[in-house]
Structure 1
Amino acid sequence: MEDKADGAVGQAPASQLRRRLGRADLRAVPETRRALRELLRHWGKPGRSDIAELLTSELVTNALVHTDHEAVLTATVGPAGLRVEVRDFLSRRPQPRTPNAGDSTHGRGLLLVQSLADAWGVRTHGVGKVVWFELAAGAA
């Protein structure tokens, strides 16, 4: 596991969190939330970091539950906002779905991401895909 700070030449420095998530290791979800909370301690308007934690938890959980592989989380905070990417090694693209009324714990992750993120998407990445979202620091 690694945390690092990065900066592009001529721009304000960005802070970055990078985590390798073990196959089916759901303990990584709360650990990732804590690390992200620390990264975002002084970021954005009130409530933005809570949304970021929630959405990150959903992407990490999806990657660990719906694939039989490791995943890699990268969260980058810059002047414009936050971008979180979760890369897994399964090429099947996730689809938002309507959850069952009787199932209170499954089927809501991508709907939350779709509803709360300023932008989100999926892109292929070699073997696998990256599911990502962005939050602007100043949005309410």
Structure 2
Amino acid sequence: MASAEASAGRQVRRLALAGQSGVVPLARDFARQALYAWGWLPAATADQRAAAEDVLLVVSELVTNACLHADGPDELWIACDNKVIRIEVSDKGTGQPAPRTPHRAGRPGGHGMFIVQRLCLDWGVMRTPGVGGKTVWAELGAPA
């Protein structure tokens, strides 16, 4: 189930993913629709197109990590203001995502959080005391 809200110049969209199949393409399509609604797409310049593609790649990586390491994502949350887009993926996992060290570009797999780290202004993990699971978040700058 998807929902949208707006407050103080910030646009927010949520998509429930728990129990869904095909969650990675579902999440990418949902994020793409949000980017169209927020005017990031269709992109007028190469920089704007690259920024939108970066958002879609980060969504894919965060949702994929939840699938691989946490029995799947519960929810995708995307918010946008004039300067930053924030992506959050919640799951029931207890692990701590981190870029693989050392990173080896030629080795298959293990590149997700390295990609997120390289593309994003910042990223991290939120946990609520006494509640299982976590939310992995990432922020990207809005295109010029």
Task: Please indicate the TM-score interval, normalised by the length of the shorter structure.
Answer: 0.7 to 0.9
CA distance in 1, matches of 2:50, 2:105: 28
Match of 1:16 in 2: 13
2:28 matched residue in structure 1: 33
What secondary structure is seen at the aligned counterpart in 2 of 1:47? helix
Say whether the 8 Å CA contact 1:17–1:39 is kept in structure 2. no
- Partner deviation per Cα, 1:19-42 (whole Å, 9 max, x = no partner): 32437x4x1101111111111022
Runs of 4+ in 1 over 4 A off after TM superposition: 99-102
- The root-mean-square deviation of aligned C-alpha atoms, in Å, is 2.2
User: Unpaired runs of 5+ in structure 2?
Assistant: 42-47
CA 1:46–1:101: 2 relative to 1, 3 Å: closer
Once residues 64 and 96 of structure 1 are traced to their aligned partners in structure 2, the CA distance between those partners, rounded to angstroms, is 16
For residues 1-140 of structure 1, what are the structure 2 equivalents within 5 Å? 1-4=1-4, 6-8=5-7, 11-22=8-19, 25=21, 27-41=22-36, 42-43=39-40, 45-98=48-101, 103-104=107-108, 106-125=109-128, 126-138=131-143
Which sections of structure 1, spanning at least 5 residues, go unmatched? none
Aligned-partner Cα distance in 1 for 2:97–2:10: 32
Question: TM-score under structure 1 normalisation?
Answer: 0.82
Distance 1:84 1:53, change over 3 A: same
1:71 Cα deviation after fit: 2.2
Contact 1:21 1:70 in 2 (8 A): yes
Q: Aligned partners of 1:112 and 1:90: how far apart in 2?
A: 21
Tell whether the 8 Å contact from 1:91 to 1:124 is kept in structure 2 after alignment: no
Does structure 1 conserve the Cα–Cα contact (< 8 Å) formed by 2:78 and 2:86? yes
Contact 2:73 2:89 in 1 (8 A): no
Whose helix fraction is larger, Structure 1's or Structure 2's? Answer: 2
